[in-house]
Amino acid sequence: MTHTGSSATRRPVFQPKVALAAVFGTTVEWYDFALYGTAAALVFNKIYFPDSDPLVGAVLAYGTFAIGFLARPLGGAYFGERGDTRGRKGVLVATLLMMGLATTAIGLLPTHAQIGVAAPVLLTLLRFVQGFAAGGEKTGALIILFENAPPKWRGLLTSLPAIGTGTGTLLSTGAFALTTGLLSEDAFLAWGWRIPFLLSAGLTFFGLWVRRSLPETAEFQQARQAGSATETSAPSATSGRPLRQRIAESRCVAAWRRYPKEMLIVIGAGAAENAGYYVFGTFSVTYAEDRGLPTAALLSGISLVAAVKLVTVPAFGALSDRVGRRPVSIGGALVLLAAAWPFFTVIDGGHTWAIWLALFLTLGIGQSAVLGSQPAFFAELFDTTVRFSAVGIANNIGTVLTGGLAPMLASALLLWFDHSVTGVVVFIALMSALTVVTVALARETRGAADPAEETTSRKENLQTAP
C-alpha cells in the first residue's frame, strides 16, 4: 500500500472556499432530496395513491420514498469508484446535476388522475434517480473536506456537509409550510405543491456554478502521482477485460477485502441518527395526521430545529475533536433512546412549545451529536485509495437499512399495533442500541494515523527488526 504522506503536513491550512462550495452544493442537493419526504406525507399519498386508505396511502408513498434509499448504495458504489480513481470534484458536479434534473421533473409530473398508473411508476423512477445521486453526494462532500482539513479540525470541518443537509431540510420544509399556509388545501393539492420542486432548477444551476470552483484534494493528487489511484482511471484500463475481473479489481471490492470490520462498523454506527431523523422529522407528520392533530406545529418546529442544527451539528463535531468520536456519538444515541416515548406523548398533547422542545431534544441534541461526530470517524477508518468507495457503500447501506425504510416501517408498525405508537418506540430503541454497541466496539480514531501510514509503519518496523 502506498504511503500517502504525513497527516501532520498534508493539510496545513483551512480552506474556506472548499468548505463554502461543499456546504452550498450539499444544501441544494438535500433541499431536493428532503422535499420528497415531506411531499410523501402531505401530497403523494393523495394524488398518486388516491384509492387507498389515507394511512395505507402513506405506506405506499413512503415505499417510493424508500426506493430512493435503496438506490443509494448503488450510487455510492458507482460514484465511489469514480471518486477513488478519477477524482472527487467531478463526482460532486455530476451528482448535483442529476439530483436537480430529477427533482424538477417531479414538479412537472402528471398525477394519477391524469395518466393513471404511469404516474406512480414515473414518480418511483425519478425517486430512484434522486437516491442514486444522493449515494455519491454526501460522501463526496465529506471526503473533499476531510482531505483538506487540518487534523485537529477534522471533526468540525467534516460535519459541515451536515449543515448543508440541515439547511436543505430547512428550506424544503419552509417552502412547504409557506405554500400550505398561503394556499387553500384544494389549491395546494392541485398545483401549489409543485412550486418547491420547480424552484430546484434555479438552485441547481447556481449550485453547479459554485461547485465547479472546487479544487481536487492534494491527498488524492498525491495518491495519483504515486500510482495508487490511476490503475483503473483511464478507459483503456478497463476496456476488453471481463466484467468479473473488473469487479474483482474495483475499489468497492478492495474496501471489503481490506477493511471488513470497519465496513460493518460504518453500516451499524449511524442507525440511531438515520432512524431518528426520519421518524422524528418525517414520520411524525404522518403520526399527527393519523391522530387528527394539526401539523403546523410540527412543520414549523422541524424548520426551527433545522436552523438550530446549523449550530449544534458543528458544535458536536468540534466536541469530537476534543473528547473523541465515540463518546459524543454514544451520548447522542442514548438521548434518542430516552426521548422516544415522551416524544410521541408530547405530540398527543398538542402544545406547540412542548412539540418544539421535543424536536429540539431529539433532532437538535440527540441526532445532531451522532451526525456531527461520525463523518470524521468514518473517513478516518480508511486510507485514501478506497476511502470514497468504502464510506459511500457502507454508509449508504446503513442509511437504507436503518433510515430509508424507517418512515414506511413506522407507518406499517402504526397499522400493525392498531394505531398505537408502541412498535415505533421499540424500533427507535433498537436502532439507538445498535449505534451504542457498534460504536463501543470500534476503536477511537481521533488523533490516529491514516491507515495507510499505519500499514507502512508496520512494514518498516518488520523490515528493520533484527
The pLDDT value given to residue 11: 47
Cell of 232: 483503473
pTM confidence score: 0.79
Mark out the alpha helices in 71-117 (DSSP H runs).
72-85, 88-108, 112-115
Provide the 10 A C-beta neighbour count for residue 272: 34
Locate 197 and state its grid cell.
420542486
User: DSSP 3-state helix, strand, coil percentages of the chain (rounded to 5)?
Assistant: 80, 0, 20
- Which DSSP category does 404 fall into? I
DSSP per residue, 232-282:
TTSHHHHTTS-HHHHHHTSHHHHHHHH-HHHHHHHHHHTHHHHHHHHIIII
Confidence at residue 233, expressed as pLDDT on a 0 to 100 scale: 43
In this structure, how many other beta carbons lie within 10 angstroms of the beta carbon of residue 147? 26
**Cα(121)–Cα(270) distance, rounded to whole angstroms?**
30
- Angle, alpha carbons 254-256-261 (nearest 5°): 135
Grid coordinates representing 5 are 504522506
Alpha helices in 109-240 (DSSP H): 112-115, 118-146, 154-158, 160-182, 185-187, 194-198, 200-211, 218-225, 235-238
C-alpha 264: how far from its chain's center?
Answer: 17
Q: Which three cell numbers stand for residue 242?
A: 471481463
pLDDT tens for each residue of the chain, 466 residues long: 444 444 444 444 567 778 887 888 788 878 887 788 778 777 887 787 766 656 666 666 666 666 877 888 999 999 999 888 888 888 988 998 999 999 999 999 998 888 887 888 888 889 899 889 988 888 888 898 898 888 889 999 999 888 887 788 778 878 888 888 888 888 888 889 899 999 988 888 888 887 877 777 777 777 777 664 444 444 444 556 677 777 777 888 999 999 999 999 999 999 999 999 889 988 888 888 888 888 888 888 887 888 898 899 999 999 999 999 999 999 999 999 999 999 999 999 888 999 999 999 999 999 999 999 999 999 999 988 899 999 999 999 998 888 877 877 888 888 888 888 899 999 999 999 999 999 999 999 987 766 655 544 444 443 444 4
Q: What are the grid coordinates assigned to 259, written together?
A: 477493511
Calculate the dihedral angle through the C-alpha atoms of 115, 121, 123, 128, rounding to the nearest 10 degrees: -160
Give whole-number Cα distances, 437 to 269, 272, 301, 302, 333, in Å: 8, 11, 31, 29, 10
- The answer to whether residues 79 and 140 touch, using CB atoms and an 8 Å cutoff, is yes
CA atoms within 13 A on the CB side of 182: 10
Per DSSP, the residues of 420-437 read: -SHHHHHHHHHHHHHHHH
